[in-house]
Amino acid sequence: MKCIINRRAKFSASHRYWLPELDEPENQRLFGLCSRFPGHGHNYELYVSLEGELDKYGMVENLSTVKKVIKEEVTSQLDYAYLNDVWSEFQETLPTTENIARIIWQKLAPRLSLVKIKLYEHPELWAEYQGKDMEASLTVKTHFSAAHRLALPELSLQENTEIYGKCARVNGHGHNYHLEVTVVGNIDSRTGMLIDLGALQQVIDDRVVEPFDHTFLNKDIPYFAEVVPTAENIALYIAQILRSPIVELGAELDKIKLIESPNNSCEIYCRQSVVDHSQAQTPEAAIAV
């Protein structure tokens, strides 16, 4: 039986997004504040995932060995370093979060049975890499606050209460929603970017956060006048409205995760298909709750 184990590590480092073959205005256009001299820093959090059969000791890999390899190959070299200079690979392709994850995979793969590298630049931005050439994913986390009521208009209050419980109360209730948008694409061999992060954040803000924030979804978002705004339906709708703009930015929408509360969240896996609500007979098939 195969098992996946995960090992966490941390390092603090600085980097700068700057291509010497471009002039200052072009670097600023491409990279914004990240192009500023002499750079900026992050407290990175790294998760290394390994897969294998359990040995006679009940382990996929001895964690002491894993820890040693990660320290030797990664953290001892990157901690308190200026990333642009520390590894030669970052002379060819800039040390973006997604590209750092890719190069870490290359450093560890000869010694560990990797299945995934996950690298947090900060709690609201992280990348994942699974050894697929230049393909990686990038996740942006944001939030909005909104109210909703769960009820079908053709049913009585009693009938809606039987289905939705307290969520059917006539004046509704609110949540502080946390939204994770994951995109997938190929890392550019020079810039290290799989998508223009500033443009992605702007799309999310313009299409989701600003329209949804501090609204009563049933009344302020026309879509939910006809569709019950469960967490599942909200996530489906967000997937539908973000898919095309993200394609226009050169990437693909991979996953939407909507966290309604610490006890309730749902995930929409978008690369398989984004289900149009009018055609969805069993939307739960696309959802992990």
Closest CA to 93 of 162, 38, 18, 170: 18
Alpha-carbon gap, residue 98 to 100, rounded angstroms: 6
Residues in a beta bridge with 51? 4
What does DSSP assign to residue 195? S
Residue 242 · residue 181 · CB < 8 Å: yes
Buried/exposed code over 171-194 (b: 16+ C-beta within 10 A; e: otherwise): ebeebebbbbbbbbbebbeebbbb
Give the SS3 label for residue 271: coil
Catalytic residues: 167, 214, 260
Residues in a beta bridge with 82? 14
Alpha-carbon gap, residue 199 to 121, rounded angstroms: 18
| 38 prior amide bond cis, ω within 30 | yes
Task: Tell me, rounded to whole angstroms, the distance of Cα 78 from its chain centroid.
Answer: 23
